Each structure stands twice: as C-alpha cells, then as structure tokens.
C-alpha cells in the first residue's frame, strides 16, 4: 500500500511509537521558530530547563508581533529574547525584518524537514513540503532543549486539486472555499495533504497561503509535494541547493478525500466574524468599504504584493478607503523598492507600514467604529482588529486591491480590469536583520530581564479530591482571542501573566477574573472546539494564574488542549454533549478521585449542590497523565531530572 507524503516525513523522523492514526509517537524536530508574543514565555521556560545549546539543526527567534513600542515593555521583550537566543545558539531576527512565517519560508524552510513553531500558522512551511506544526511555547522550548516532540498521529485528509485558477481568483479563494465546506473544526485531528494536476499552476507562496489557513480548519498541518515549482522558489531565494523532490506514492491511501476543481472557483470572502463564514463576493454585494489591509503571514509575499501593485499602478485609492499594506519581509520590501512597485503603491495612495504582523493582531490600524474592513489576513474574530464593532471580511489580495479602488467590495472578474501575470524574480535574502548566535555561550551571556518580565505561573500537584466552581459557561468555537484577548493595549503584557490575567475573557465577560479569584478553585464549561485559533499559551497560563483547575467542554482544539495539559489544567469532555445544559455558572464540580479519573478513559463528576452525576471522557496518553498528576510539564521535567539525579547518585 502506497504511503502519503505526510507519513513518509513522519516515518523518517520517528523516534518512538507506532505510526498509525491515533498512535502516540515522538518525532525528531529539525527546526523551530518562535515569535515574540509567545516567545518570551518559551524562553523563560527554556531558561528554567537549564538547557545548553539547542539540539535542533536551526532555531530562529523572530520579532514580528509586538513591534509597536509605545512604552519600554516590548523593547525589553526584544532585548530579553535576543539575549536568550545568544545563550542557546538561536538565530535572532530583529524587528522590522518581517513576519516569521514568510521569513522562514524564504530563508530557512527545507522540503522534508520538520518544523515546530510557537505560532498556530507555522504550517505555512507546508507550502514548501515541510511538515510544519504549531504548538504551545513549552512544547517548542522542549523541542529546542531535547530535539523531539510528541503527538497523536493524525489521519490524513487528501485534497486533490484539478483544473486551473482563472484570473482574479487566487490561492486565498481556494482555502476560503475549503473552509466554507469543512468549517473551522473540519480539520481537527487531521493532516491535510494536497495532490493533483491543479498543483502545477500554484507557486510555493500560493501553496503557503493555503497551508497557512489550514490552521483555521483546526488541522495539525497541511503538506504540499516538493516539485519543480518548489525548486523555482528556492532558486529565487538563492537556495536551490536545498531542493529535494518529494511526493506521496501514486497509490497512496488517504483516510478521507476531497476534490476541488480550481477552474470552478470564483472570488470569495469570509463574512464577519469567522473564517468559515464564506460566501461569494458577488452574493455579498457591493458593500461600502472603509479600510483595506493587505499583508499578514497569509498574503504578504512578493507575488501577492506585485499583483496588488499592478492593479493599483496609475490609479487612485477611493477617497473613503484607507489602504494599508504591510509587506511580509524586508527582502520583499527591498525588491519592491528596487523595481519601482513601491512607488506605484504609494502613488496610488497606499499607507505602507512596517514588515510585521501589525493590524492582523490589532497592533495599530484599528478601523473606525462600525467600519467595514477588507483584510487579506486569516482571522476575522470579533474585536481582533481592535475595534469591537468593525465588520472584518477576509479576502484575496486581488479582491482587496480592486475594492480599494472602487470603494466597495468588488469581484475583479466583473471589474473589466486586466490582470498582468507576475514574472518570477530572484531576490537574495537580506541577512542584515539577522543576529547570528555564533560562539553562543550560556554561561557568559547575561539574560536581559526588563521590569515587566515576570516568572511564568506554575501549577501544584493534582489533589486527590478536586472541587472547582464553574466560573463561566461558554458556547461553541470559543477562540483563544476570546479567552486571552490580544491587541496593542494588552500585547505588551505577554511577559507579565499576573497582570494579563486581569483581562482574561474580558471582551465576553468582564467579571470572569474576579469570580475565579473568589472561587479559589475554578472551572470553565465550554462547547465544541473550545480554544480554537492561536497557539498562545497565555490562554492556559492566565486561567492557571486565576486558579482554573479544569475545563469541561464538548470538544477541544488541538493546541489549546495541549497547553492546558502542559499547565496541569484538566481538559475533560462530556460523554453526552447534552449535559452541557445541566451546568450553570456558580455550581461546584466535584471529582472524588481525580488521579483515578485522569488515568481512566472515562469517569464521572458530581455537581456538589444537587449530587447529580455527569459522565466525562478523560482519554490521556501516559505522559499526559504524568503531567496532569504532577501539575504540568515543567514539574514533570523537573521530577524526571530529580529521578535521574538520584539514580546516578545511587550508582
């Protein structure tokens, strides 16, 4: 039986376990990446592990999220990350160099390698034939310290692409189409693998756009084959030597399959406030647009911005529209500057801002009250733009550019404008933003600790009997943006969990933090796909700081579930989802034998006030059981180190 490409890569990196869907395996991690807003926790944890030089082939610390320096906090975080990078042999990408995923694709991604990143859009590397996985910061710290990562083997969803995209339809429309079909939980527990003759017309950056938004499907990763288009991309980056051809076997068997006819697609948009709320641009109609934002790790590549420049060249942005463009990397901006496209953008009336995440994470450029904002980004969760009542639509760069000209949402296919193809270009990397850790020396490099950087919270051992008061009952698809909001006001406190915790669930329920404090030990009840979205550990660390001991939900998003376990918070699921109705805020949940429950695959919880019983599932792997009993991964690592110290003392 033929093998899928994803399983071939897993197999070549397998350290232990059986490679079958649902099996527990550990794999070798070749590369890691961090970004600054999750990175400070990663590096505090790496320091706490007493690690020496990283065990990976390449680890890179990017600064791209918290680049707005409105006070000392973000700049202190950058200095902290740079100092730790130097201590452990990690490349440091200075602020201004660009967005981690775009930079990693350009400079370090290699087909067939594994990449673990402390950001949910790490799978962007799948566009280059990597197996790239997003994870919580602690998992990335462990991968740097030990070179490995454990996961439950996902099944593989094969998506066959046929046909060819028509002008004005692009990679963004492909992934929006898939999101419309599968929804934001359609990829949970799956690896997505693309194949078919349709691939021939998709460049690496097109593929990266599609792989990037596999995160919105909840998929573990998305993988594309490595072919002549991959070679051409690597050549354009001056890295042809990194090319390796890779593909699934012709008779590969997938757990599920889906077909997408590229020729049949039309320009699409995700309506507010979810990436799977997809409709055609034509159906949505010519709504008036106030802001257009082009950029983010999804759509800020050289070819995306050249398409935009070609549409805008010699024309003028509509008077009502504020057009904001954030290029993906310094290399891209430099190339646009050299070939004149930057001048075309500025002449048309675009505000060109820093090469960074920027507006995608609410770091500036929040639209006006009640605005309609078209964004080429990947998430349009309510309030993420920094403006609670803004209506954010996710669109392709082509749709964004033509709509910026007309001032209304416009289907380019009907616009009468011609679209010129973008010629491939060679642009060598811009190394001048990279600080090399050559000669790294943990002992002789001091950690630069600014006053806003506080220790990460740690849990205590799981008690035998656990009682916790329900401090919130939430619905389906709660995002980590809901749990731990992030914007220009709060991002500077990513290194200060005690402060940040005051704002936990702030946008949906401002009384949450106070209720948890009063409860002493708190519980959260959630619906389906609890914790979807970002990889931010803060969505587990802030609740941990507030005394949350358990989350009982209908189902969990993968990374958030791991982050809860890493923090020693119990993620349990309902055996009968209808029991969600029986639980309300203020009730006390009681587990008689908490240690027994985490080790069993199922058990029960009592509602203390009424004595009613709720059946719950608790399917944890052996390492997860230890983590939960010991109060989190750091405690487990320390315990392991103590055991091996006493074993060697006894020898």
Site for ligand MIC in 105-144 (CB under 6 A): 119-121
Nearer to ligand SF4, 491 or 618 (CB): 491
To ligand SF4, the closest distance from the beta carbon of 138 in angstroms equals: 19
How near is the Cβ of 103 to ligand SF4 at its closest, in Å?
Answer: 11
Sign of CA dihedral 440, 442, 444, 447: positive
Which residues ranging from 45 to 64 are in contact with ligand SF4 (CB under 6 A)?
none
Token pair recorded at residue 151: 């996961």
Q: How many CB atoms lie within 10 A of CB 389?
A: 12
37 binds ligand MIC (CB under 6 A): yes
Q: Which of 86, 375, 473, 536 forms a contact with ligand MIC (CB under 6 A)?
A: 536
Can residue 38 be called a binding residue for ligand MIC (CB under 6 A)? yes
Q: What letters, b where the CB count within 10 A reaches 16 and e where it falls short, cover 474-508? A: bebbbbbbbbbbbbbebbbbbbbbebbbbbbbbbe
Among 217, 158, 210, 156, which Cα is nearest to 186's? 217
67 binds ligand SF4 (CB under 6 A): no
Answer yes or no: are the C-beta atoms of 329 and 106 closer than 8 Å. yes
Q: Could you tell me which stretch among 233-241, 254-262, 318-326, 533-541 binds ligand MIC (CB under 6 A)?
A: 533-541
Our finding on whether 535 is near ligand MIC (CB under 6 A) is: yes
| CB nearer ligand MIC, residue 220 or residue 229 | 220
Residue choice 156, 357, 525, 597 for contact with ligand SF4 (CB under 6 A):
357
Give the span between the Cα atoms of 53 and 440, in whole angstroms. Answer: 8
Q: CB-based contacts of 381: which residues, under 8 Å, 6+ apart? A: 273, 274, 479, 481, 482, 533
User: How many distinct helices (H) and strands (E) make up the chain?
Assistant: 21, 27
Name which of 467, 471, 472 is nearest 605 in CA terms.
467
Candidates 76, 77, 106, 119; binder of ligand SF4 (CB under 6 A) is 119
Q: For residue 215, what are the contacts with CB-CB under 8 A and spacing of at least 6?
A: 120, 121, 123, 134, 378
Residue 534 binds ligand MIC (CB under 6 A):
yes
Among 13, 121, 384, 536, binds ligand SF4 (CB under 6 A): 121
Q: How many residues bind ligand SF4 (CB under 6 A)?
A: 11
Taking CB within 5 to 8 Å according to partner kind, which of ligand SF4, ligand MIC, none is near residue 535?
A: ligand MIC
The one of ligand SF4, ligand MIC, none whose footprint includes residue 567, by CB under 5 to 8 A per kind, is none
Interaction between residue 99 and ligand SF4 (CB under 6 A): yes
**Residue among 6, 296, 430, 563 that touches ligand SF4 (CB under 6 A):** 296
Q: Measured between alpha carbons, how far is 1 from 514 in angstroms, rounded to an integer?
A: 57
Which structure tokens are listed for 240? 């042809």
- Cβ 118 to ligand MIC, closest distance in Å? 7
Footprint of ligand MIC on residues 332-371 (CB under 6 A)?
361
Smallest distance from the beta carbon of 551 to ligand SF4, in angstroms? Answer: 23
Determine the Cα–Cα distance for residues 53 and 445; give it in Å rounded to an integer. 13
Q: Given candidates 230, 237, 274, 378, which one binds ligand SF4 under the rule CB under 6 A?
A: 378
Give the chain's radius of gyration (CA, Å).
Answer: 24
Pick what 560 binds: ligand MIC, ligand SF4, none; C-beta below 5 to 8 Å, kind-dependent: none
* CB closer to ligand SF4, 195 vs 355: 355
Distance of closest approach, residue 631 Cβ to ligand MIC, in angstroms = 24
The upper half-sphere exposure of residue 253, i.e. CA atoms within 13 Å in the direction of its Cβ, equals: 5
Q: Tokens in use for 585?
A: 């805020």
- Least distance from ligand MIC to the Cβ atom of residue 262, Å: 27
* Minimum distance of ligand SF4 from residue 184's CB (angstroms): 14
User: Minimal distance in Å, beta carbon 140 to ligand SF4?
Assistant: 14
How far apart CA 358 and CA 295 sit, in angstroms, is 9
Give the shortest CB-486-to-ligand MIC separation in angstroms: 5
Q: Least distance from C-beta 536 to ligand MIC, angstroms?
A: 3
Asked if 277 touches ligand MIC (CB under 6 A), the answer is no
Residues 6+ apart with CB under 8 A from 518: none
In the complex, the smallest distance separating the C-beta of residue 329 from ligand SF4, rounded to whole angstroms, is: 12
Handedness of CA 192, 198, 199, 203 (dihedral sign): negative
Q: Is 292 helix (H, G, I), strand (E, B) or coil?
A: strand
Closest CA to 538 of 214, 138, 146: 138
* Site residues for ligand SF4 per CB under 6 A: 65, 99, 119, 121, 296-297, 357, 360-361, 377-378
* Site residues for ligand MIC per CB under 6 A: 37-38, 65, 119-121, 361, 486, 533-536
């Amino acid at each position: 039986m033929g093998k899928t490409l994803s399983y071939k890569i897993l197999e070549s990196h397998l350290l232990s376990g059986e490679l079958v869907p649902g099996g527990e395996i550990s794999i070798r991690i070749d590369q890691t990446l961090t970004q600054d807003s999750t990175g400070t926790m990663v590096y505090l944890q790496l320091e706490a592990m007493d690690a020496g030089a990283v065990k990976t082939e390449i680890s890179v610390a990017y600064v791209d999220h918290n680049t707005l320096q409105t006070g000392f906090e973000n700049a202190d975080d950058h200095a902290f990350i740079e100092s730790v990078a130097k201590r452990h042999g990690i490349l440091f990408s200075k602020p201004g160099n660009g967005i981690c995923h775009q930079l990693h694709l350009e400079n370090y991604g290699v087909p067939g390698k594994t990449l673990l990143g402390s950001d949910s859009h790490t799978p962007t590397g799948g566009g280059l034939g990597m197996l790239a996985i997003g994870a919580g910061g602690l998992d990335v710290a462990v991968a740097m310290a030990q070179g490995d990562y454990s996961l439950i083997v996902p099944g593989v969803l094969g998506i066959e692409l046929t046909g060819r995209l028509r002008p004005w339809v692009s990679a963004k429309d492909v992934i929006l189409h898939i999101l419309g079909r599968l929804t934001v939980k359609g990829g949970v527990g799956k690896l997505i693998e693309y194949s078919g003759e349709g691939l021939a017309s998709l460049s690496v950056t097109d593929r990266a756009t599609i792989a990037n938004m596999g995160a919105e499907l909840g998929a573990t990763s998305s993988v594309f084959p490595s072919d002549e288009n991959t070679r051409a991309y690597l050549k354009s980056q001056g890295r042809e030597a990194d090319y390796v051809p890779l593909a699934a076997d012709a008779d590969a068997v997938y757990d599920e399959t889906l077909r997408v006819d590229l020729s049949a697609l039309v320009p699409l948009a995700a309506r507010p406030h979810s990436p799977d709320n997809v409709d055609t641009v034509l159906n949505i109609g010519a709504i008036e647009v106030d802001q257009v934002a082009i950029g983010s790790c999804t759509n800020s590549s050289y070819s995306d911005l050249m398409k935009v420049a070609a549409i805008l060249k010699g024309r003028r942005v509509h008077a009502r529209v504020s057009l904001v463009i954030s290029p993906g990397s310094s290399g891209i901006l430099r190339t646009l500057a050299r070939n004149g496209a930057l001048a075309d953008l500025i002449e048309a009336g675009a505000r060109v801002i820093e090469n960074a995440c920027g507006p995608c994470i609410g770091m500036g450029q929040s639209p006006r009250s009640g605005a309609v904002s078209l964004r080429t980004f990947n998430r349009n969760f309510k309030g993420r733009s920094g403006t609670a009542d803004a209506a954010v639509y996710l669109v392709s760069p082509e749709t964004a550019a033509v709509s910026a000209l007309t001032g209304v949402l416009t289907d380019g296919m009907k616009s009468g404008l011609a679209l010129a193809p973008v010629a491939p270009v060679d642009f060598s990397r811009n190394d001048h933003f990279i600080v090399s850790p050559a000669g790294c020396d943990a002992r002789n490099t001091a950690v630069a600790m600014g006053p806003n950087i506080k220790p990460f919270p740690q849990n205590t051992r799981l008690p035998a009997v656990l009682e916790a008061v329900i401090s919130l009952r939430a619905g389906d698809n709660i995002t980590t943006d809901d749990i731990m909001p992030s914007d220009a006001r709060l991002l500077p406190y990513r290194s200060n969990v005690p402060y940040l915790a005051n704002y936990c669930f702030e946008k949906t329920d401002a009384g949450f933090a106070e209720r948890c404090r009063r409860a002493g030990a708190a519980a959260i009840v959630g619906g389906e796909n609890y914790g979807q979205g970002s990889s931010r550990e803060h969505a587990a660390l802030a609740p941990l700081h507030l005394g949350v001991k358990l989350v009982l939900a209908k189902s969990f998003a993968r990374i958030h579930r791991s982050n809860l376990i890493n923090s020693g918070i119990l993620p349990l699921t309902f055996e009968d989802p209808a029991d969600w109705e029986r639980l309300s805020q203020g009730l006390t949940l009681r587990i008689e034998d908490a240690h027994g429950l985490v080790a069993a695959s199922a058990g029960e919880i009592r509602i203390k006030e009424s004595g009613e019983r709720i059946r719950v599932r608790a399917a944890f792997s052996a390492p997860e059981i230890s983590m939960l009993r010991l109060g989190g991964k750091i405690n487990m690592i320390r315990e392991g180190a103590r055991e091996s110290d006493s074993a060697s003392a006894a020898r």
